Chains A and B, each alone.
Chain A
Amino acid sequence: MLKLENISFEVENEKEILKDVNLTIEKGKFIAITGPNGGGKSTLARIISGVLKPTKGKITFYGEDITDLSITDRAQRGISFGFQQPVRFKGITVHDLINIAKGEDLSVMDASHFLSEVGLCAKDYIHRELNDGLSGGEIKRIEIATIIARNTKLSILDEPEAGIDLWSFNHLIEVFMKMHQSKENSIVIISHQERILDVADEIIAMVDGAIVKRGAKESVLPELLHCEDPKNCLYCQDILEA
């Protein structure tokens, strides 16, 4: 479905952020990408969604070369991207944003359904502006609601758990599992949360701009979370440094 070939991303006078990344994601898969901060995870997500252009390499989506396609073109072909830090808008309401995501004018009741899915009481939020009056956790859940509303072939979420309280987080796992029921659509979630890694079909570990490990949770997770040699483990390095 999605194929990245030799993707590199370099910023002038800085280090190479992505180094020759090769990655294939099949349809219907739930993939978790994890790894230390600065490892290139968010950059990879931004390159797939078109927010950043790779300096080298090729991206194909359902056989089409989308490397040079714009953000809009990729979105229209079925790629969704949930921001790590959702954007706020003065004057645009939650209802407006869900309508934009869905691509049609939904009734309050139909739009509210997507808020209920992410555990927000629809009547309290549907007419709210997406401004600073919303907490980090609230706007994050609204961001996820727009991804659910879009229901595209590929959904990429960048640290969806950030800012969400523990109680809501359990519900969020259920949301992702429900999205994963589709055999056609794939989900890619960038996360540090063990619970998310635990429910993914496959885990990809990224360190220093490269994929260092990919596999089923049974093979990758024990290595990541019960590291026997943290001093020589790339994943554990940043935790030790912190």
Chain B
Amino acid sequence: MNDIAKKLLKEVSGLDEMPKGAYNIRENSKTVSRQSSENIEIVSKEDKSGIDIIVKPNTKSENVFIPALVSCSGVHDLVYNDFFIGENADITIIAGCGVSTGDSCDGSEHNGIHRFFLGKNSKVRYVEKHIGEGTGTGKRVIDPVTEVIQEEGSYMEMETTQIKGVDSTRRFTTAKLKDGAKLVIKEKLMTHGEQFAESKFEVDMDGEDSSVNLISRSVARDYSRQTFISKINGNTRCMGHSECDAIIMDHGVVSAIPEITANSLDATLIHEAAIGKIAGDQMIKLMTLGLTEGEAEAKIIDGFLN
């Protein structure tokens, strides 16, 4: 692994060295390092590029690292990762993707197709960070597709973060929830320059007492554009909530498009959206505490995306 890849690895997954337990590190469309643990098995797919991550039932408090790195220009990576989470397992998955194109004018892209199959009463925390680096004009593109199938009583929490350097991203997440399944999605996004980001969610609550809570916080700077689409279907007694909070700066543009459909009298669905520039009184408050205008703005953005 070269220095660029090591730096990307550190930034997307916090790793300085190979972790303990299960991991699979992918660099420029190939697995460069892999380890399974007693409870978590990682195997290559035979029909296409990608891996299956198989977690035994009742596995507790284990982490799996699956970062994907693109450390040069001209790479068009497409990977299929499937996660099979056994009943009652409780694990954390640290994913993430870093794309570096250096000073090249050629772009690179990484498209990860992730499917999660959560067994009964299992619990997954999924943490994913996307970053892009490079000084050249080559576009860095990340288009993730995520599909979640949750069995009875399972819980999934997804934290996705994309703060800098990705020129274009189209994220599409779908989920189907059975009885008592809960899904929490926390998305943090900041776009600069002329970047474009679209986040689209489609959740079907098919099981009684299932719930989804979808929280998006984003900042659009310069001439960047963002679109947030949340489609939640309540098909039985269930609870759905989505919230899109966006700060626009400079010439940034944000669209929030909610679609909540109650197909049952017992479905409770809420959508909240707020888009606007930084409130003047927030700036004034922090300046009365001694911060300069620039420091106050940075503090508000950092806190908002924290």
Residues on A close to B: CB < 8 A? 49-51, 70-72, 75-76, 80-81, 83, 86-87, 89-93, 96-97, 100-101, 103, 146, 150
Contact = CB atoms under 8 A, between A and B. Distances in A.
B213 to A, nearest CB: 15
A91 B292 contact: no
B25 interface: no
A92 B300 contact: yes
A92 B284 contact: no
A82 B227 CA distance: 38
B287 interface: yes
Interface in B257-306: 279, 281-282, 284-293, 299-300, 302-306
B290 A89 contact: no
Interface of B: 217, 245, 279, 281-282, 284-293, 299-300, 302-306
Contact of A75 (B217, B245, B289, B306): B289
B289 A146 contact: yes
B303 A96 contact: yes
A56 B149 CA distance: 68
Consensus secondary structure, chain A interface: mixed
Contacts of A89: 282, 300, 303-304
Contact of A87 (B245, B279, B291): B279
B284 A71 contact: yes
A87 B281 contact: yes
A100 B299 contact: yes
Contacts of A150: 289-290
Contacts of B302: 91
Contacts of B281: 83, 87
Contacts of A97: 289
B303 A72 contact: no
Contacts of B293: 72
Contacts of A71: 284, 287-288
A72 B292 contact: yes
A70 B4 CA distance: 44
B278 to A, nearest CB: 10
Contacts of A100: 286, 289-291, 299
Given A51-B284, A71-B284, A92 B303 contact: yes
A86 B306 CA distance: 21
Nearest to A146: B289
Given A87-B279, A89-B282, A80 B304 contact: no
